[in-house]
Amino acid sequence: MQQILINGHWVESSSTDGFRALNPSTGETREPVFPRSNWHDLDSMAAAATAASVHPANAEPDRIGRFLDLFAERLDANRSRIALVAHEETGLPLETRLAQIEFNRMLGQLREAASAARDVTANSWRSPLIDAESGIRSDFGPLGGAVLTIGPNNFPLAFHAVSGGDFAAAIAAGNPVIAKGHPLHPETGSLLADCAAEAVLEAGLHPATVQYFHQCHPEDGLRLIADPRIAAVGFTGSRAAGLSMKAAADASGTPCFLEMSSVNPVFVLPSALSEQGARIGGEWAASLMMGAGQFCTKPGIAIIVGDGADAFVDAATSGLQEAAPGVLFSGAGVERLAAGIDSIEAAGAVLRCGGASGSPGSRFEPSLLEVDGDDFLKSFEALSQELFGPVGLVVRAGDMEEASRIAARFDGQLTATMYTGDNDDAAWTALESTLRVRCGRLIENKMPTGVAVVPAMVHGGPFPATGHPGFTAVGLPTSVTRFAMRRCWDGVDPRRLPAWMR
Amino acid sequence: MQQILINGHWVESSSTDGFRALNPSTGETREPVFPRSNWHDLDSMAAAATAASVHPANAEPDRIGRFLDLFAERLDANRSRIALVAHEETGLPLETRLAQIEFNRMLGQLREAASAARDVTANSWRSPLIDAESGIRSDFGPLGGAVLTIGPNNFPLAFHAVSGGDFAAAIAAGNPVIAKGHPLHPETGSLLADCAAEAVLEAGLHPATVQYFHQCHPEDGLRLIADPRIAAVGFTGSRAAGLSMKAAADASGTPCFLEMSSVNPVFVLPSALSEQGARIGGEWAASLMMGAGQFCTKPGIAIIVGDGADAFVDAATSGLQEAAPGVLFSGAGVERLAAGIDSIEAAGAVLRCGGASGSPGSRFEPSLLEVDGDDFLKSFEALSQELFGPVGLVVRAGDMEEASRIAARFDGQLTATMYTGDNDDAAWTALESTLRVRCGRLIENKMPTGVAVVPAMVHGGPFPATGHPGFTAVGLPTSVTRFAMRRCWDGVDPRRLPAWMR
Q: What residues contact residue B446 under an 8 Å CB cut-off, 6+ apart? A: A490, A491, B417
CATH superfamily, with its number, for domain B32-260+466-493: Aldehyde Dehydrogenase; Chain A, domain 1 (3.40.605.10)
- Residues of chain A in contact with residue B424, where contact means CB-CB under 8 angstroms, are none
**Per the CB < 8 Å rule, is A440 touching B487?**
yes
Q: Smallest Cβ distance to A469: which of B143, B444, B490?
A: B143
DSSP B125-182: TT--EEETTTTEEEEEE--SSEEEEE--SS-TTTT-TTTSHHHHHHHHTT--EEEEPP
pLDDT for the residue B261: 83
DSSP A115-178: HHHH--STTSTT--EEETTTTEEEEEE--SSEEEEE--SS-TTTT-TTTSHHHHHHHHTT--EE
Sheet holding B34-37, edge to edge: B18-19, B34-37, B215-216
Q: What tens digit of pLDDT does each residue of B44-77 get? A: 999 999 999 999 999 999 999 999 999 999 999 9
Percent of chain B past pLDDT 70, that is, above it, reads 100
Element housing B218 (H / E): helix B218-226
Residue A229 at interface with chain B, using a CB cutoff of 8 Å? no
Q: What tens digit of pLDDT does each residue of B142-190 get? A: 999 999 999 999 999 999 999 999 999 999 999 999 999 999 999 999 9
**Per the CB < 8 Å rule, is A250 touching B252?**
no
**Per the CB < 8 Å rule, is A456 touching B130?**
yes
- Tell me which of A60, A88, A102, A259 is the catalytic residue: A259
- Residues of chain A in contact with residue B140, where contact means CB-CB under 8 angstroms, are 470
- Residues of chain B in contact with residue A145, where contact means CB-CB under 8 angstroms, are 437
Query: What average pLDDT score do residues A350-355 get?
Result: 98
pLDDT for the residue A121: 96
Q: Smallest Cβ distance to A488: which of B412, B442, B488?
A: B442
Q: What tens digit of pLDDT does each residue of B421-450 get? A: 999 999 999 999 999 999 999 999 999 998
Residue A419 at interface with chain B, using a CB cutoff of 8 Å? no
Q: Smallest Cβ distance to A440: which of B415, B469, B486?
A: B486
Burial of residue B101 (CB within 10 Å: 0-12, 13-18, 19+) is middle
Q: Residue B114 region, left (φ>0) first, then alpha (ψ -120 to 50), else beta? A: alpha
How many helices (DSSP H) and strands (DSSP E) are in chain A?
A: 15, 22
Q: Alpha-carbon distance B211 to B176, whole Å?
A: 8
**Per the CB < 8 Å rule, is B458 touching A145?**
no
Q: Smallest Cβ distance to A456: which of B53, B138, B145?
A: B138
Q: Alpha-carbon distance A436 to A159, whole Å?
A: 26
DSSP annotation of A481: G
pLDDT for the residue B332: 96
Question: Which residues on adjacent β-strands are paired with residue B367?
Answer: B391
DSSP annotation of B291: G
- Residues of chain A in contact with residue B455, where contact means CB-CB under 8 angstroms, are 129, 131
pTM of the model: 0.97
* CA gyration radius, chain A: 23
Could you give the residue range(s) of every CATH 3.40.605.10 domain in chain A?
A: 34-260+466-501
Instruction: State the smallest CA–CA distance between residue B15 and chain A in angstroms.
Output: 31
Question: Which residues on adjacent β-strands are paired with residue A487?
Answer: A139
A172 closest CA partner among A66, A56, A54, A45: A66
Among B246, B439, B478, B488, pick the best mutation site for testing chain A contact (most A Cβ within 10 A): B488
Q: Could you say which residues from 196 to 215 on chain B have a Cβ atom under 8 Å away from some Cβ of chain A?
A: none
**Per the CB < 8 Å rule, is A487 touching B436?**
yes
- Residues of chain B in contact with residue A440, where contact means CB-CB under 8 angstroms, are 485-488
Q: Smallest Cβ distance to A441: which of B144, B472, B490?
A: B490
pLDDT beyond 90 at B463: yes
Q: Could you say which residues from 245 to 264 on chain A have a Cβ atom under 8 Å away from some Cβ of chain B?
A: 246-247, 250, 252-255
Q: Residue B175 region, left (φ>0) first, then alpha (ψ -120 to 50), else beta? A: beta
**Per the CB < 8 Å rule, is B441 touching A488?**
yes
pLDDT beyond 90 at A356: yes
pLDDT beyond 90 at A373: yes
Calculate the alpha carbon distances from B502 to A183, B142, B495 in Å: 45, 18, 7
Q: Alpha-carbon distance A405 to B225, whole Å?
A: 24
Cα-Cα-Cα-Cα dihedral sign, residues B371, B377, B378, B381: positive
Compute the mean pLDDT over every residue in chain A, rounded to the nearest whole number. Answer: 97
DSSP annotation of B476: T
- Residues of chain B in contact with residue A463, where contact means CB-CB under 8 angstroms, are 252-254
Residue A32 at interface with chain B, using a CB cutoff of 8 Å? no
Residue B464 at interface with chain A, using a CB cutoff of 8 Å? yes
B374 closest CA partner among B415, B409, B412, B418: B409
Measured between CA atoms, the residue of chain A closest to residue B479 is A486
Write down the ipTM of this complex. Answer: 0.96
Q: Alpha-carbon distance B156 to B102, whole Å?
A: 9
Could you give the residue range(s) of every CATH 3.40.309.10 domain in chain B?
A: 266-444
Q: Alpha-carbon distance B48 to B212, whole Å?
A: 12
Could you give the residue range(s) of every CATH 3.40.605.10 domain in chain B?
A: 32-260+466-493
**Per the CB < 8 Å rule, is A490 touching B255?**
no
B63 closest CA partner among B114, B99, B14, B10: B114
**Per the CB < 8 Å rule, is B412 touching A253?**
yes
Question: Which residues on adjacent β-strands are paired with residue B130?
Answer: B137
A45 confidence band (pLDDT: 50, 70, 90):
very high
Third-level CATH fold of B266-444: Aldehyde Dehydrogenase; Chain A, domain 2 (3.40.309)
Percent of chain A past pLDDT 70, that is, above it, reads 100
Contact B12, B347 (CB under 8 A): no
Q: Alpha-carbon distance A49 to A5, whole Å?
A: 12
Q: Alpha-carbon distance A456 to A467, whole Å?
A: 20
Chains A, B: CB pairs < 8 Å: 210
Question: Which residues on adjacent β-strands are paired with residue B126?
Answer: none
B284 confidence band (pLDDT: 50, 70, 90):
very high
**Per the CB < 8 Å rule, is B463 touching A253?**
yes
Calculate the alpha carbon distances from A263 to A164, A305, B162, B418 in Å: 23, 18, 38, 52
Cα-Cα-Cα-Cα dihedral sign, residues A71, A73, A77, A82: positive
Third-level CATH fold of A34-260+466-501: Aldehyde Dehydrogenase; Chain A, domain 1 (3.40.605)
Alpha helix segments (H runs only) across A14-146: 39-53, 61-77, 79-90, 103-118
A261 confidence band (pLDDT: 50, 70, 90):
confident
Q: Residue B326 region, left (φ>0) first, then alpha (ψ -120 to 50), else beta? A: beta
Burial of residue A502 (CB within 10 Å: 0-12, 13-18, 19+) is exposed
- Tell me which of A195, A216, A256, A296 is the catalytic residue: A296
**Per the CB < 8 Å rule, is A253 touching B140?**
no
Calculate the alpha carbon distances from A355 to A338, A388, B50 in Å: 7, 13, 41
**Per the CB < 8 Å rule, is A456 touching B252?**
no
Nearest 10 degrees: Cα torsion B222, B227, B232, B235: -10
Q: Alpha-carbon distance B468 to B472, whole Å?
A: 9
Q: Smallest Cβ distance to A455: which of B129, B140, B231?
A: B129
**Per the CB < 8 Å rule, is B438 touching A475?**
no
**Per the CB < 8 Å rule, is A253 touching B467?**
yes
pLDDT beyond 90 at A317: yes
pLDDT beyond 90 at A357: yes
Contact B343, B385 (CB under 8 A): yes
Give the other-Cβ count within 10 Å of A430's Cβ. Answer: 16
Residue B419 at interface with chain A, using a CB cutoff of 8 Å? no
Instruction: State the smallest CA–CA distance between residue A379 and chain B in angstroms.
Output: 20
Cα-Cα-Cα-Cα dihedral sign, residues A40, A41, A42, A48: positive
The SS3 of residue A284 is: helix
Residue A446 at interface with chain B, using a CB cutoff of 8 Å? yes
**Per the CB < 8 Å rule, is A444 touching B490?**
yes
Query: What average pLDDT score do residues B85-101 get?
Result: 97
Q: Could you say which residues from 101 to 140 on chain A have a Cβ atom under 8 Å away from some Cβ of chain B?
A: 127, 129-131, 134, 136-138, 140
Give the HSE-up count for residue A268: Cα atoms under 13 Å, Cβ half-sphere.
Answer: 33
Please report, as a single letter, which amino acid is at residue A182.
H
Residue A7 at interface with chain B, using a CB cutoff of 8 Å? no
Measured between CA atoms, the residue of chain A closest to residue B129 is A456
How many helices (DSSP H) and strands (DSSP E) are in chain B?
A: 15, 25
Query: What average pLDDT score do residues B3-30 get?
Result: 97
Q: Could you say which residues from 44 to 83 on chain B have a Cβ atom under 8 Å away from some Cβ of chain A?
A: 53-54
- Residues of chain A in contact with residue B428, where contact means CB-CB under 8 angstroms, are 496
**Per the CB < 8 Å rule, is A470 touching B481?**
yes
